[in-house]
Amino acid sequence: MSEPLKLGLDGLVDVLKAAGEPTRLRLLALLDAGDLTVTDLTEILGQSQPRISRHLKLLGEAELIERYQEGAWAYFRLKQEGKAAMLVRALLKHVSENDPTVLRDGERLSAVKRQRAERAQAYFSRNAAEWDELRRLHAADEEVDAAVIRLLGNQPIDSLLDLGTGTGRILELLAGLYRRAIGVDASRDMLSVARANLDKSRITKATVRHADILNLPFEGQDFDLVTIHQVLHFFDQPEIAIAEAARMLRPGGRLVVIDLAPHTLEYLRDEHAHVRLGFSHQAMSDWLRKAGLEVEQVVDLHPGQQSGQGLTVTVWLARDPRRLMASQLSEGAEPTFAGRV
């Protein structure tokens, strides 16, 4: 049985004051279900924007919610960490799902999410042909997903950072393993797709943010797993992204890179904005080691019968060695290079 949450009297009173008002409690319940804007919340609660903003300000001052900017829009979400947020999550479990106000808020939230999904689907449909063409070139997504799961094993993930999250595929794939997750992407359209996919899968412990993966807005050493899925070939200097990913890792944390092996399909530069035509084992391993990581495994996934014409996908697994240095040196461990699977 877990230990009860302990707060000082002043801290406990502050949390109860912030949460103990009908509109603010409704806001907390909604933000526990995912990231929403002031406009979303205004539409759901049927209250004025200044009134909603004032309640959000009080909840933020009590450290119950977090705010992040994405262009002209500000998103809000129930905080993932901290005693105050944990207490609020415990309180929300006692809110009846059959309460008329809660039911009405839930129906309006579903309508907002449907609109979000429709906008995302429109963008996805406009680009589906291009994505399908690229997908046919390399190993099946399911095969790549299975390889990633095999490499990671069943070890629980406390915090995941997915760089270049795209449609949120990695956030969905690993949802059963992590406690919390953040996906970042430079494309706001792709973030809309990712949010819609998380909504559809009912994944509330992951959030997505607009950010530059070469200059991340997070504290270092905050994640025990970082993933970079089919992103690095868009960069002229992928090693900068790898170094930034390594900076995010806690001691002993792992980095998974999924990208293309070297190929000669030059048209991908002009038609699909690829800057790099794949990466060799040696080049990627050199960058990982330069970033202070140790390569543990490398797996090549070939495109089956059309391997002569298609693209091989490579998965690299590396680790921050700071917690493992002594044991690895004593065992004389070397990186494992697996062939075709």
Whether residues 249 and 171 fall in one domain = yes
Record the tokens describing residue 160, joined without a space. 């995941």
**In a domain? residue 113:** no
Half-sphere exposure of 139 (CA within 13 A, CB side): 21
Q: Which residue has the higher pLDDT, 133 or 302?
A: 302
How is residue 311 annotated by DSSP?
B
Whether residues 151 and 257 fall in one domain = yes
Q: How confident is the model at residue 304 (pLDDT cuts 50, 70, 90)?
A: low
**In a domain? residue 134:** yes
Is the pLDDT score of 170 beyond 50? yes
Listed residue (64, 61, 63, 51) closest to 25, CA to CA: 64
At 94, give phi and psi (nearest 5°): -95, 0
Q: For the sheet with 178-185, list strands across it.
A: 206-210, 178-185, 157-163, 223-229, 249-260, 313-319, 294-301, 336-340
Q: Which residue range is the domain that position 307 belongs to? A: 129-318
Stretch 77-102: mean pLDDT: 86
* pLDDT tens digits along 316-325: 999 999 865 4
Q: How confident is the model at residue 229 (pLDDT cuts 50, 70, 90)?
A: very high
**In a domain? residue 328:** no
The total of structural domains in the chain comes to 2
pLDDT at 330: 42
pLDDT at 307: 42
How is residue 185 annotated by DSSP?
E
**In a domain? residue 100:** no
**In a domain? residue 123:** no
Is the pLDDT score of 4 beyond 80? no
pLDDT at 327: 42
Query: Average model confidence (pLDDT) for the chain?
Result: 84
Stretch 102-129: mean pLDDT: 76
pLDDT at 158: 95
* pLDDT tens digits along 60-88: 988 899 887 766 678 898 887 788 888 88
Residue listed under structure tokens 């997505």: 208
Whether residues 232 and 177 fall in one domain = yes
Whether residues 61 and 156 fall in one domain = no
The CATH number for 58's domain is: 1.10.10.10
**In a domain? residue 99:** no
Q: How far apart are CA 39 and CA 330, in angstroms?
A: 58
pTM beyond 0.85, yes or no: no
Whether residues 142 and 33 fall in one domain = no
pLDDT at 336: 46
Reduced to 3 DSSP states, what percent helix, strand and coil does the chain have, rounded to the nearest 5? 50, 20, 30
Whether residues 208 and 254 fall in one domain = yes
Q: How far apart are CA 209 and CA 222, in angstroms?
A: 16
Q: How far apart are CA 163 and CA 240, in angstroms?
A: 13
**In a domain? residue 104:** no
Between helix 22-31 and helix 49-61 the angle, nearest 10°, is 80
Between helix 49-61 and helix 9-19 the angle, nearest 10°, is 170
How does DSSP assign 23-37, residue by residue?
A: HHHHHHHHHTTS-EE
**In a domain? residue 212:** yes
Q: Which residue has the higher pLDDT, 8 or 79?
A: 79
Is the pLDDT score of 118 beyond 80? no
